[in-house]
Amino acid sequence: MNVKIALVTGANTGIGKEIALSFASKGIKVFIASRSYDKTLPVIQAIEKLHGAHKCEWLSLDLGSIKSIDRCADSFFGKNVSLDYLVNNAGFAGSRGSTKEGFELAFGVNYFGHYVLTRRLEYALIRSKNARVVNVSSKVHSIVKKLDFASLRKPTKSLSGINEYAVSKLANILFTSELHRRYASLGISSFAVHPGLVDTEIWRTLPFFLRPILKLKGMLTPEEGAKNVLQCAFLDASTHSGKYFSKCTPSAPSTLATDQELAIKLWEQSESWMNNYSK
């Protein structure tokens, strides 16, 4: 029997860690793609202790560097396996700056890096014949009223970085719907999910004066957030692919997030950027 394969970004901590542990508990081999092997090692050891050796492998990945993404994809292809589950989970909020290629930091890591990774892995996903791509989004996407493409190529402007974080999560929803439109016929299903407000390290760079507000809103545990994400990995694709989920419920995203012309424009612009910088 062929073993199912999952790749989870940022699974060294928080939601990603719990997702990786859950996949492994179902007999699925997990590849964890993250920046630090040392920080990921405890997760690998936990999985192997519970489920046996060779159930988890690490791939080096910096989503802020297209060269790193290309190397990660090459390393995965070297395993000569198909890819059944891709969970684009890694991300952060509150940091300011830009990526190595000059994209606004949150947009570059939370969305564009995952776009490039997904495209680089598309043949492994197609080989699965029933692949699932789950993009972690957020309900904060709804605060975005316009997608300013020029600002995506500039350093973070807002002091808190929350506006830019919201843009990146809007982009993930647009990406999900367009991925469905282009690839569903090839056996790739896609889902965008707001896991809830989860108490993880993603908020570690948020300005200190905003952190008490998050606590007051009532935060979920990483295990609870992971459950909301994992549901999408096992949903009936025929009725739910391309959709946005808030926690465990199919939900209507913002009007901007349902703009098909905008989704196409973002895809085509992202593809152009990818081709300009990759290999």
Other C-beta atoms lying within 10 Å of the C-beta of residue 146: 9
Does residue 117 or residue 197 have the better pLDDT? 117
Q: Measure the CA–CA gap between 198 and 203, rounded to whole angstroms.
A: 9
Distance CA(9)–CA(263), nearest Å, equals 23
Q: How confident is the model at residue 206 (pLDDT cuts 50, 70, 90)?
A: low
Minimal CA–CA distance to 72: which of 23, 29, 114, 134? 114
56 exposure class (CB count in 10 Å sphere: 0-12, 13-18, 19+):
buried
Q: Which of 111, 165, 183, 277 is catalytic?
A: 165
Confidence band for 249, pLDDT divided at 50, 70 and 90: confident
pTM: 0.92
pLDDT at 106 over 50: yes
pLDDT of 166 higher than 50: yes
User: Helices 162-183 and 260-277, interaxial angle, to 10°?
Assistant: 90
Task: Determine the average pLDDT of the residues in 51-70.
Answer: 95
Banded pLDDT at 75 (limits 50, 70, 90) = very high
Residue 208 confidence (pLDDT): 53
203 pLDDT above the threshold of 50: no
Active site annotation includes 244 = no
Sequence-separated (6 or more) residues with CB below 8 Å from residue 76: 7, 31, 59, 83, 121, 124
Q: In the prediction, which pLDDT does 28 show?
A: 96
> Domains of the chain by range and CATH?
5-277 (3.40.50.720)
Instruction: Tell me the pLDDT tens digit for each residue of 112-142.
Output: 999 999 999 999 999 999 999 999 999 999 9
